[in-house]
Structure 1
Amino acid sequence: MARARRTHAGVRLARSGDVWDTVVTAVLEQRVVALDAKASWRRLVAAHGTPAPGPAPTALRVAPPPAAWAALPVWEWRRAGVDAQRSDTVRRVAGVAHALGADLPPHELARRLRTVRGIGPWTVAEVTSRALGDPDAVSVGDAHLCHLVGWALTGRRADDAGMLRLLEPWRGHRQRVLVLLELAYRGRMPAYGPRAPRALPMR
């Protein structure tokens, strides 16, 4: 950790302040490879977003508001490669989007998100870290993060419980630690199996 901190001393946590769009993108990323989630987001926003204001490229779109996401018919979700579980979760969150403000402290936003069926620890941590800059968010349930933490800190793979034990000395700042470890060690960790296949063609 000391070496990672020295190497990346200028790294700071960022926050977008955009809770709603972060929720949608995090839900789209549940259980699929990142490229597929990004492709689904791109297709849905291109088809249902509104033109970006001001001088901007013609094709640039602003993502739809919660009501528009909730009203999307099922075939639009399937055309974009989004299964029923994820699309239903987005609809449920849209119903409480008014209560998910960027002015909330991370722990309160996390509590409110957890009341929505389909939102678990991984999605909560992804939202609070990206939207609010939560310094202690840990994405429990991530397919690779626990292995990276285990390998970086002990030289061995770890499961989620093991990752949490290893991160305990940094409680309150675990997201900061995770960011440093990912910058310092991602790409250097041994591969442990084949990559998941793409569900959508590249565009």
Structure 2
Amino acid sequence: MSFSRQRLGWNGVMLVLMRLHKFSERLPFQAPLCPDNLFGHLIATAVPGVEEWREGVYRRTLRLPFGCGIASLRLFDSYVACTVELSDPRDLASALDLCRFLLDLDVDPFEVDAALSRDPLLAPLVSSAPGRRVPRTVDGAEFAVRAVLGQQVSTKAARTHAARLVSRYGTPVGDLFLFPLEFDPSSLAMPESRRRTMAALLAALQSGLDLSPSADRAAARAWLTTLPGFGPWTVESILMRALGDPDAFLPTDLGIRLAAEALGLPTTPAALVKRSEMWRPWRAYAVQHLWATGDHEVNRIPA
């Protein structure tokens, strides 16, 4: 039995009644790997019911070509212990690939760190936390919906909005839920302008907007910029975390501008973009280093 990536219906419910097949693998990576912002971001923004952090293990649901599943990830010195529970064993390779993408395990940290260290103002940040990765997502459509839910609200409020959506529309998988991609935007407790933004996004996803890691980034960026309520911050965040663009940049982000001011970097978006030319093609990693200068829960793993 199979189901669409964007429409579960009763098929999704039937799938969760089937036995989940468990597989355990080691996901190797090239050290160093700085875990603080990587797992810290995933934990701080985790949607209750979809994701959880328990005793050093990050768990979340997966939407897969032939079914659904749950991934459990624990970091070790040279690999990530990965256990996936799948409704269809044919999804094993896809599930492992998504887990690698989520944790940005395939990047060469030496290449990134060497490039960013050429800027004398970034070099101390890189040397103090080598091997920073970009926390990504296993579901680009889900991330885009969550990005709209999080516009102009705090991290905590965004999680609350998402959790309400999951409790009402989520499809159960084991003890967790798949994040819904079909729902009525008019039911959301948010301003009418953001409900229109959400409706436009859902319509685009239904019409073929591809936000998977293999998608054409230029085409996705062009489509997203046509949607009402999708400014540069939202578009670049989706490109960075959903499509894995290593050069996505957020010059208007408040945390980035505060970090730039503290480091002596330009603070106006235009000037900061000009300075960031020397960080190409790794500006998404520079974003992680700049964000990490602030005291925010996304930068640390809970004790």
TM-score band by shorter chain is 0.7 to 0.9
Percent of residue pairs bearing the same amino acid type: 27
1:37 aligns with 2:158: yes
Tell me which of 155, 161, 165 is aligned to 2:274.
Answer: 165
Matched AA of 2:160: A
How far residue 166 of structure 1 moved from its aligned partner, in angstroms, is 2.9
Q: Letter of the aligned partner of 1:88 in structure 2?
A: R
Please, which of 118, 121, 127 is the counterpart of residue 6 of structure 1? 127
Distance, in Å, in 2 between the alignment partners of 1:93 and 1:39 is: 20
Match of 1:100 among 187, 210, 217: 210
| SS across alignment from 1:61 | strand
Q: Show the 5 A alignment for 1:24-173.
A: 24-52=145-173, 56-57=174-175, 60-65=176-181, 68-69=182-183, 72=184, 74=186, 76-78=187-189, 82-97=190-205, 98-102=208-212, 103-154=214-265, 158-173=267-282
2:223 counterpart SS class: helix
Q: Read off the aligned partner of 1:139 and give its amino acid letter.
A: L
Change (3 A) 1:88 1:140: farther
Q: Which runs of 4+ in 1 moved over 3 A?
A: none
Gap change, CA 1:73 and 1:29, over 3 Å in 2: closer
Aligned partner of residue 64 in structure 1, secondary structure? coil
Q: Deviations over 1:155-203 (max 9, x none)?
A: xx823223223322213221111112222x1229xxxxxxxxxxxxxxx
List alignment gaps of at least 5 residues for structure 2: 1-121, 297-303
Q: TM-score, normalised by structure 1?
A: 0.76
Point out the structure with the larger strand share: 2
- Deviation string for 1:50-99 (max 9, x for gaps)? 112xxx32xx321112xx23xx162x212xxx221112111111111122
The code of the aligned residue for 1:36 comes to A
3-state SS of 2:277 partner:
helix
2:194 partner letter: R
CA distance in 2, matches of 1:109, 1:160: 23
- Structure 2 SS opposite 1:30: coil
Query: Deviation of residue 14 (structure 1)?
Result: 4.4
- Name the count of aligned residue pairs: 172
Alpha-carbon deviation of 1:152?
A: 2.3
After TM superposition, give the deviation of residue 146 of structure 1 in Å: 1.6
Structure showing the higher helix proportion among its residues: 1
Distance across 2 between alignment mates of 1:171 and 1:73: 38
* 1:16 corresponds to: 137
- Structure number with greater CO (CA < 8 Å, separation at least 6) is 1
Give the AA of the match of 1:94: L
Between stretches 124-133 and 140-149, larger displacement belongs to 140-149
Query: Paired residue for 1:177?
Result: 286
Contact 1:128/1:134 (<8 A) preserved: yes
